[in-house]
Amino acid sequence: MYQKQIEDYFTEHKEEMLRDICTLIRIPSDKSEAKEGMPYGEGPAKAMDAAAKLAESLNFSVKNYENHVLTINLNEKPRQLDILAHLDVVPAGNGWTVTQPFEPVVKDGKLYGRGSADDKGPAIAALYAMKAVRDLQVPLSKSARLVLGGDEECGSSDMAYYYQRETEAPMTFSPDAAFPVINIEKGRFSTWVKAEWEQSSALPCIVSAHGGVKSNVVPDTAEAVLAGLSKEQVSACAQQAAKKTGIQFDLREENEKIYVTAHGECAHASMPGGGNNAITGLVVFLAGLPLPESKSRKALCGLNTLFPHGDWKGTAAGVAMRDEISGGLTMALDLFEFGPTGLKAFFDGRTPVCATNENLRDKFCAHAAELGLDVEKTEVSPAHHVPADSPFLRTLLHCYEQYAGRKGACIAIGGGTYCHHLKNGVGFGCALPETDNHMHGADEFAVVEELLLGAKIYAQAIIDLCS
């Protein structure tokens, strides 16, 4: 019911929807220093203001929760459904080739730009789904609410703020994942691994090293400064490391020091196998340098043993695991600092349902200790699971099948959405399962027809759930 009207509606309004997505993409909205009235910095606040003006221009009721969250209501009836999306993005990163990160362009049926897929494109698709239901004058007995946050990429404090003031809707989905339905989101084991030593002036040495920009992004660059080594020595080690890891190394000599930059490939931390980690590549290179034995070298080699380049399943650390319903553990080393008196490395683990403190955290800590490394003893956060046979999920799957022409099923992901702590919340679109839209990486894109498909599916879901 209503399928033809919905299909015709989005044929007519396609260009408007793309225009409004591009308006948001042009706003760099990665998190920055908080300011008065801007809890996540200027970028997310500007994006929220632009989204509010857009929704108001479409005659929706809008409420701003002090720039933590923006809500847009379909009507004034009792709330049945929340749709949770976000307007913040990860930093632009390097390596863009099709366009610049905040200069959206449509090419070969794809909309390129930071946030096109994660999550500005899906957010506007959901807004236009609400607009379609309203414009088509579909009779409803309940309401839907679009909730747009500003801190999803850095901890989701925005939703904590929102749910301290509002109750959870009976049903919730987030268009910040993939189709068909994400009913399992893996848990987390995120922790710092550290080592300390006394400062030394002995040469040769690693003066400093660092890499990573966000705790949930596999980094594409990492850097080091070396002293007391010849460029020939460093170049030979770089060639060996490049051959072993696929990481490319640039060398620059200045003021009797050698500056090294490692170039890899970005990826979302929930899918570390899709990238090439510049930090672990740099660690391989640093561990291969002809340096004297010391506590700093021992710690660096220990880190390389605990988490060798390309081992994103936790095999070397002795914690590889998987289960039938949620798949396997993944781990990524996303932040790294090495200085005169110590090193620290941040690990982001996405954990299956079977993971516990005993079989993951304690084993990881014990192995690290054997290598002379200390681990911040954080808890394993359990996975999120909504039963696949609920009427809510069956309705979502039916809407997907109706418009996509494919058989739907519930699946598990390593990423987390806003729904992770909600009793009846799931991920639902906006990309088809086979699409790799370079989320968190260079040349992020959304397939235009998938954004339109998502909008149609969301419109039908609103009708079916709120009638």
Catalytic residues: 88, 152
- d(C-alpha 367, C-alpha 246), whole Å: 27
- d(C-alpha 271, C-alpha 302), whole Å: 24
DSSP 14-77: HHHHHHHHHHHHTS--B----BTTBTT-HHHHHHHHHHHHHHHHTT-EEEEETTTEEEEES-SS
Q: What residues does 89 pair with on adjacent strands?
A: 30
According to DSSP, the β-strands at 181-185 and 430-431 are unpaired
Which residue, chain included where needed, has tokens 């969301």? 458
According to DSSP, the β-strands at 217-218 and 374-375 are unpaired
Residue 361 corresponds to which amino acid?
R
Radius of gyration of the chain (CA): 24
Question: b/e map of 253-283 (b: 16 or more CB within 10 Å)?
Answer: eeeeebebbbbbbbbbbbbbebbbbbbbbbb
Cis peptide before 419 (omega within 30 of 0): no
Instruction: Report helix, strand or coil for 87.
Output: coil
